[in-house]
A and B are shown apart, each in its own frame.
Chain A
């Protein structure tokens, strides 16, 4: 017996004593487990391969719709697939029967009811289209037409207003000029009427002022007219027309007086007074001025 024990001795002693082994049962259990795992894996691969093969066959059947083609393809299955099919792991009846359970449906569009439903759907769509086509056509242009008409009306109104404005301005200018010229002529050619000239000139000035007032009023109306909205425009147009009528009538009266047709002038003046009673004062002053001019 030695007192020294080296590492090597110790390890050697360990190896001498290390003789234990797993029991035979345990070994066989583990080997069985390993075999079962292998079988399970093989079965999985097998099922996958068979399923793939079947899917391929089913697809070909759908495409060609021919049983003879399928039979020929079944005969052409590779030896590996046959080996897998014949393997003991897929010997159960359910797996063998499964080809009969594969989906062999005819596509819906190929069946009579499928085609009928498609045709019916198309007809329905056509009918709906035709039904909705006319209202769609009539509604859209109408709205366009209405808007166009409205625009045209507005344009016409604007043009009318412009022309009325221009005409009234021209008439007012002409009337004013004529009165001014006549007053000048009278003041120069009739010195004997000097006594009355002051009155005449006053009346003329009054008439001119009236006319200028009217003119400015007309201008104001024009300005207002341009500034106001369509609803206000109608009233301003009526006022303008009134002013225009008065101016025309006064012009006509002046013409009658120039021709010494006093009756006609009186008649027209009376009509003016009748038509525009609210302007009696202004009209009287203007008429008197014209009378004095004609004398």
Chain B
């Protein structure tokens, strides 16, 4: 696994170097590898998909501009997410209203609205409720799973910004605790506790909402 990761890491850097020498295909390959996780990194941390796209595009644009002077000093993914982290920090600074820390009192968290495809509406509003109309058991299990997923996403959005970012970097982008600590400039223990607290809150939130939903 480690060897595979290293190989992937080396491959990333090699691809970036090839792109720096003018190989667009190398960049395409690199982009395909990292586009989804990076996109979701932003999508989970900002209010709207449009804003997530804007930040996402800005990060790639910066990376492309910096490519001629690229030198292998760290993992490519670390470099990419450091740019993303800085971009996000800048965004929070620009829009301080967005930088609020959500309340962790799950008792106060309202039940999320659910839309047809099981996705949470970004505005938190939903026009259609269909769960009460379902009677089939198999369908009920599916609905339950979908509801859990929806709850995870919703609860994740309610987490404090630092815990949310740590969770995403670990479980979405696959960084180790040390890598995250280096990336965001915090201590190893701090990141570890952020992830732990984040997971506990997330778990508590999901279970609470699911229980509430079936009551």
Give chain A's interface residues, CB within 8 Å of chain B.
1, 3, 5, 7, 10-11, 13-18, 20-23, 26-27, 29-31, 33-35, 37-38, 41-42
For the complex, give the distance between the alpha carbons of A29 and B156 in Å. Answer: 29
Residues of chain A within 8 A of B35, CB atoms compared: 21-22, 27
Chain B contacts of A10 at CB under 8 A?
A: 152, 199, 202-203, 206
A-B contact count (CB 8 A): 85
> Is B129 among interface residues, defined by CB-CB distance under 8 A?
no
| Complex: A37 Cα to B19 Cα, angstroms | 10
Chain A at the B interface: SS class: helix
Query: Per-residue CB proximity of B195-214 to A under 8 Å, as 1/0?
Result: 00001001100110010001
Minimum CB–CB distance from A37 to chain B (whole Å) comes to: 5
**Chain B neighbourhood of A13, CB < 8 A:** 145, 148-149, 152, 206
Given A1-B144, A5-B203, A30-B57, A38 and B171 contact (CB-CB distance below 8 Å): no
Complex formed: what's the CA distance from A11 to B153 in Å? Answer: 11
| A37 & B65 in contact (Cβ 8 Å cutoff) | yes
Which residues from 25 to 41 on chain B have a C-beta closer than 8 Å to any C-beta of chain A? 27-28, 31, 35-36, 39-40
> Which chain A residue lies CB-closest to B172?
A18
Pick from B24, B61, B65, B149: contact of A16, CB under 8 Å: B149
Residues of B within 8 A of A (CB): 19, 22-24, 27-28, 31, 35-36, 39-40, 43, 53, 56-57, 60-61, 64-65, 67-68, 144-145, 148-150, 152-153, 156, 171-172, 199, 202-203, 206-207, 210, 214
Name the CB-closest residue of A to B195. Answer: A7
Known: A10-B203, A11-B171, A31-B27. 5 other contacts (CB 8 A): A14-B171, A14-B172, A17-B152, A37-B65, A38-B27
Known: A10-B203, A21-B35, A34-B24. A26 touches B57 (CB 8 A): yes
B149 with A17: CB separation less than 8 A: yes
How far, in whole Å, are A34 and B53 apart by their CA atoms in the complex? Answer: 17
Contacts of A15 in B (CB 8 A): 171
Contact A22 B64 (CB under 8 A): no
Q: Which residues of A contact B24 (CB under 8 A)?
A: 31, 34-35, 38
Of the residues B28, B36, B171, contact of A31 by C-beta under 8 Å? B28
Measured between beta carbons, the chain A residues less than 8 angstroms from B68 are 41
**B65 contacts across to A, CB distance below 8 A:** 37
- What are 22 inter-chain pairs, A to B, with CB distance below 8 A? A1-B210, A10-B152, A10-B202, A10-B203, A13-B148, A13-B152, A14-B171, A17-B153, A20-B36, A20-B39, A20-B40, A22-B39, A22-B56, A26-B53, A27-B35, A30-B64, A31-B27, A34-B19, A37-B65, A38-B19, A38-B23, A42-B22
Chain B interface helix/strand/loop/mixed: helix
Q: Which residues from chain A contact B210 at a C-beta distance below 8 Å? A: 1
Shortest Cβ distance from B125 into chain A, in angstroms?
A: 19
Checking B31, B64, B203 against A27 with a beta-carbon cut-off of 8 angstroms, the contacting residue is B31
A178 to B97, CA, bound (A): 136
Q: Known: A11-B171, A17-B150, A31-B27. Contact between A22 and B67, CB under 8 A?
A: no
Minimum CB distance partner of B156 in chain A: A14
A33 close to B64 (CB less than 8 A): yes
- Nearest-CB residue, chain A, relative to B170: A11
Q: Which 8 A-B pairs have CB atoms at the shortest separation, nearest pair first?
A: A17-B149, A22-B39, A34-B27, A30-B60, A13-B152, A37-B64, A35-B24, A38-B22
CB nearest neighbor in A for B120:
A17
A15 to B44, CA, bound (A): 13
Cβ A26 vs Cβ B152 within 8 A: no
Q: Which residues of A contact B36 (CB under 8 A)?
A: 20-22
For A26, the chain B residues whose CB sits under 8 A away are 53, 56-57
Nearest residue, chain B, Cβ from A7: B199
Residue of B nearest to A3 (CB): B207
A68 to chain B, nearest CB (A): 37
**Are A23's CB and B53's CB within 8 A?**
yes
A161–B51 Cα distance when bound, in Å, is 116
Q: How far is the CA of A42 from the CA of B68 in the complex (A)?
A: 11
